[in-house]
Amino acid sequence: MSQPSAELIQLFQPVEEGLDAMRACLTGQLEETSGAVSDMTGHVSRFRGKQLRAALVLLSAKACGTYTAEHPSVAAVVEMIHLATLVHDDILDGAEVRRRVACVNQRWDNQVAVLLGDFLYARAFALSTTLSSRLCSSLLAETTRTLCIGEIEQSSRRYDFEVERETLEGIAAAKTASLYAAACELGARYPGGEVELGETMKGFGRDLGLAFQLVDDCLDLVGDSRVVGKSTGTDVQDGKVTLPVWFVYRDASTAVRAAIRDAYTRPNVEDRAALLKEVVDVRPGVDATLARATALLEGARARLAPLPETPSRASLEEITRFVLRRTW
Ligand code: FPP
Ligand code: MG
Ligand code: MG
């Protein structure tokens, strides 16, 4: 399992040992005798992941004083579910590159990628059933339901420029923030009890995750895929009206609105993102979205106020800043 960047290694320092245990656990879970499956899990392991969600489990536990020997396994379950969602997401989005590595649907094909996502999801739940508390499997089953609903809602709103802003944020919260919230809540609450701290950390994770997705939407629109490390422009190609585009459309004249819709519905999907940026300046929408992300991250930091001042709490605070300045 590859390591995250130097900046994140620094932020994850308080839970270094737990992350090593999480990686060892993950590697063990992905071992298979089938050569074909091993090739694919080996490929997924080359994804240079941030392992941010796993680190959030561990940092939340340390910051709340609830860390147990089982937390690295809980973190591995969260990370495997995350990997499963990425493999499935890249099929849905027709993506080609993820973390500078060919997506599974590209390196192999969609059929096999569906099955690998299912495999990863099955391994995650198999591991969760070995834990002493059912909290991990019950909370993550509920989270997976929410993730799927978010993706289905997103798909049903494609090409819908009249969509309410709250609906768009609700989709981002469901498809992305829910797993951040679950990671932080599990860190604070596992194996049970500590409901109040769990709620605090769930709120922290939700704000952080929503901000993360809003930044992601900006990167998809204006980021350079070589820097971001994954395919960009896929939202416009797929007809997804993300928050930066929503702001731009809201403030556009009738003629420009028509040009935006035209760009979104070009028969050659590859041209759509470039055309959109030719017909309208998307920067004000990006700035408004980043302002919203900044406010969410300030709120996330404020939620940490009841926690004692520890290196783990300091890392959680710094992660909120990382989310805004990240380029990948
Ligand atoms: C970000 O999408 C959202 C996700 C990665 C969640 C996707 C969830 C699913 C496809 C449901 C999977 C269900 C199971 C059971 C595994 P994005 O496309 O905005 O992010 P990206 O820029 O990283 O591609
Ligand atoms: Mg995607
Ligand atoms: Mg997607």
User: pLDDT-based confidence at 47, cuts 50/70/90?
Assistant: low
Q: Where do we find the tokens 């590159």?
A: 97
What's the CA-to-centroid distance between 204 and ligand 2, angstroms?
23
pLDDT tens-digit series, residues 88-118: 999 999 988 888 889 999 999 999 999 999 9
Specify whether domain 6-325 bears CATH 3.90.1150.10.
Answer: no
> CA angle, corner 2, sides to 328 and 78, nearest 5?
75
Angle, nearest 10°, between helix axes 110-129 and 16-30? 120
Residue 311 has pLDDT above 90, yes or no: yes
Q: What is the pLDDT of residue 255?
A: 98
More confident residue, 40 or 178: 178
Atom of ligand 1 nearest to the CA of 90: 24
pLDDT at 3 (0 to 100): 57
* Closest ligand, as measured to the CA of 152: 1
Q: Tell whether ligand 1 has an atom less than 6 A from the beta carbon of residue 300.
A: no
Q: How many angstroms does the Cα of residue 111 sit away from the middle of ligand 2?
A: 17
Contact (CB, 8 A) for 22 and 75: yes
Q: What is the pTM of this model?
A: 0.95
Residue 5: pLDDT over 90: no
Structure confidence by residue, pLDDT tens digits, 113-146: 999 999 999 999 999 999 999 999 999 999 999 9
Which residue in this structure is represented by tokens 């289905």? 152
DSSP three-state, residue 157: coil
- 244 burial (CB, 10 Å; 0-12 / 13-18 / 19+) is buried
Q: What's the gap in Å between 162 CA and the centre of ligand 3?
A: 20
Q: Structural domain boundaries of the chain?
A: 6-325
Cβ contact 297:320 at 8 Å: yes
d(CA 255, CA 95): 31
From 18, 26, 117, 116, select the one nearest 69 (Cα to Cα).
18
What local confidence, expressed as pLDDT, does residue 6 receive? 83
pLDDT one-digit tens code per residue, 204-249 = 999 999 999 999 999 999 988 888 877 889 999 999 999 999 999 9
Distances (CA, A) of 291 to 30, 243, 284: 40, 12, 10
State the distance from the centre of ligand 2 to the C-alpha of 115, rounded, in angstroms. 18
Could you identify the atom of ligand 1 that is nearest to the CA of residue 121?
16
238 lines ligand 1 (CB under 6 A): no
Counting from 1 in the atom list of ligand 1, the atom nearest the Cα of 216 is 22
Pocket test for ligand 1, best of 77, 147, 152, 210 (most atoms within 8 A of CB): 147
Ligand 1 contact via 322 beta carbon (within 6 Å): no
Mean pLDDT over all residues of the chain? 93
- Nearest-CA residue for atom 12 of ligand 1: 85
220 ligand 1 Cβ < 6 A: yes
Q: HEC states along 240-265?
A: CCCHHHHHHHHCCCHHHHHHHHHHHC
Predicted confidence at residue 327, as pLDDT, reads 64
Name 81's Cβ contacts closer than 8 Å, sequence gap at least 6: 120, 121, 124, 140, 143, 144, 179
Instruction: Say yes or no: CB of residue 92 within 6 Å of ligand 1.
Output: yes
Sign of CA dihedral 43, 152, 219, 317: negative
**Is residue 84 lining ligand 1, measured as CB closer than 6 Å?**
yes
Strand ranges (DSSP E) for the chain? 97-98, 101-102
Ligand 1 nearest-atom number relative to CA 240: 19
Report pLDDT for 328. 56
User: Are the CB atoms for 178 and 190 separated by under 8 Å?
Assistant: no
